[in-house]
Each structure stands twice: as C-alpha cells, then as structure tokens.
Amino acid sequence: MSTNCERCHTETLVTTMSLFNTDMCCDKCIETERAHPQFPEARRRELEELQAGNYNYPGIGLPDDLRLGG
C-alpha cells in the first residue's frame, strides 16, 4: 500500500514524520530536511519536549526554504 509525501506529494511506500512540523515525508524530503542548517535546533527542541512529556509537540515550524517550491 502506498501513500503520498505530504511535502512533495510523490507517491511512496514509506514516510517519516518531519522534525520541523507534522508532515509525513518521503525519504528524499527527510534527507533534505536533515541537511538543513536549522535541523540540529529542531532535533534538540523535539527531544526537550519529549523529555518534558509533551508527545504532541508540533515542531519549530517548517523553514520557508524547505516548502515546496522554496
């Protein structure tokens, strides 16, 4: 069963949730996200929220340059 990436809309078999927001993304979009300069901050903030018990943390927000067409 396939689905579509919520960021680039490509059909994919596997998705992973973004650390910037709640988008479910394909491997290519996640790879691009991990190379972004703000990724370490997004990862750090998510870990802090999880450690504080906030399992519904929506992320720090998707940087404009990662938006489709950005």
Residue 45 domain flag: yes
Range of the domain at 34: 3-65
Residue pLDDT tens, the chain, 70 long:
789 999 999 999 999 999 999 999 999 999 999 999 999 999 999 999 999 999 999 999 999 999 875 4
pLDDT of 68 reads: 75
* Domain-embedded: residue 26: yes
| Burial of residue 16, with CB atoms counted within 10 A of its CB: 0-12 exposed, 13-18 middle, 19 or more buried | middle
Residue 51 lies in a domain: yes
Instruction: State residue 17 phi and psi, 5-degree precision.
Output: -75, 135
Which pLDDT score, from 0 to 100, does residue 2 have? 81
Within-domain flag for 70: no
Can you tell me whether residue 4 is helix, strand or coil? strand
Paired sense of beta strands 3-4 and 11-12, if any: antiparallel
Domain count, the chain: 1
46 found inside a domain = yes
Dmax (CA) for the chain in angstroms is 35
pLDDT of the residue at 67: 86
Residues contacting 39, CB < 8 A, separation 6+: 19, 33
In a domain, 22, yes or no: yes
- pTM beyond cutoff 0.85: yes
